[in-house]
Amino acid sequence: MGRLSQPLFYKAMLKLTERLQMVADFLDPCACFADIGTDHAYLPVWMLQNGKAHYAIAADINPNPLKNARTTLAQYGFAEQIELRLSDGLQNIDAWEVGAVAVAGMGGNQIADMVAGTPWLQDEKKQLVLQPMTHFEDVRRALRENGFSVLREETVAEGERVYLAISARYSGESRAYPEWYDYAGTLPQNPTGTNLLYLQKVLSRLEKRAKALQSANPKESEKLFAIIKEIKDAC
């Protein structure tokens, strides 16, 4: 059979959005990682295509996203190496199965509950990459209160929106953080580009809340104004 008449098994390389690419770049190479709230399983496919994982668990709480994931696997391959699994958060994932866990595109309060409610994550060998869409302060609080150290924090812009990703690992350390830390994290250390945009959004949200509370809860309002000042001073 001539070359041109042979069937082509070439699979295209998956291109991630800037936001998911940031999450993928944060993930350390590992034997197996779990993507919680996977929807289309883009992250697992990218990780395998790019040799950063041998195996992945693409987990979601809903069956329909797992149908989307199945379509992606049919398109890009890896059906043998990516397991689709119904799971509410990490409830159906066992500690021994994964070296890294990614949770992207979910509310920060939900992600915080997963961090606080999964004791087996408290293991120095496991990496966590979190990309909350809202309530970022809940995620930093949950990490801090449960002995995790933040290793890396970055932001990226996609259109009008700025997204944050955090890489963390359990260290057992409990150190004192300033009150503003949960809102701004390590970003004031590098207040440029998208970090600056992100910080401006955090400050304007805090300012709105502080003003709204001025008469109903002056103490809380004062506390928020103090946090705003501290973030500005830290930049």
Ligand X SMILES: C[S@@+](CC[C@H](N)C(=O)[O-])C[C@H]1O[C@@H](n2cnc3c(N)ncnc32)[C@H](O)[C@@H]1O
Tell me which of 14, 24, 101, 104 binds ligand X, using CB under 6 A. 104
Contact region for ligand X (CB under 6 A) — 93-101, 102-110, 115-123, 161-169?
102-110
Taking the least distance from each CB to ligand X, the nearer of 34 and 227 is 34
Q: For residues 69 and 61, what is the distance between their CA atoms, to the nearest angstrom? A: 13
Taking the least distance from each CB to ligand X, the nearer of 72 and 224 is 72
Query: What's the min distance (Å) between Cβ of 71 and ligand X?
Result: 13
Contact region for ligand X (CB under 6 A) — 61-69, 115-123, 174-182, 198-206?
61-69
22 lies in the binding site for ligand X (CB under 6 A): no
Backbone phi, psi, residue 93, to 5°: -115, 135
Contact region for ligand X (CB under 6 A) — 58-66, 92-100, 122-130, 167-175?
58-66
137 and 108 in contact (C-beta within 8 Å)?
Answer: yes
- Residue 134's closest CA among 159, 102, 112? 112
Q: Which helix (H) or strand (E) holds 29?
A: none
Tell me which of 65, 108, 132, 188 binds ligand X, using CB under 6 A. 65
Q: For residues 157 and 228, what is the distance between their CA atoms, to the nearest angstrom? A: 23
Tell me which of 14, 20, 48, 231 binds ligand X, using CB under 6 A. 20
Compute the chain's Rg from CA coordinates: 20
Q: Is 81 helix (H, G, I), strand (E, B) or coil?
A: coil
Query: What's the min distance (Å) between Cβ of 146 and ligand X?
Result: 18
Tell me which of 37, 44, 108, 188 binds ligand X, using CB under 6 A. 37
36 and 89 in contact (C-beta within 8 Å)?
Answer: yes
Site for ligand X in 80-99 (CB under 6 A): 87-89
Taking the least distance from each CB to ligand X, the nearer of 62 and 217 is 62
Q: Which pair of structure tokens corresponds to residue 142? A: 């949950």
Query: What's the min distance (Å) between Cβ of 129 and ligand X?
Result: 11
Query: What's the min distance (Å) between Cβ of 123 and ligand X?
Result: 20
Taking the least distance from each CB to ligand X, the nearer of 87 and 221 is 87
Q: Which pair of structure tokens corresponds to residue 57? A: 């668990």
Q: Which pair of structure tokens corresponds to residue 4? A: 């041109």
**Helical residues (DSSP H) of the chain, grouped into ranges:** 18-26, 42-49, 63-76, 108-116, 136-145, 181-184, 193-212, 218-234
Residues within the interface to ligand X (CB under 6 A): 20, 36-39, 60-62, 65, 87-89, 104-106, 110
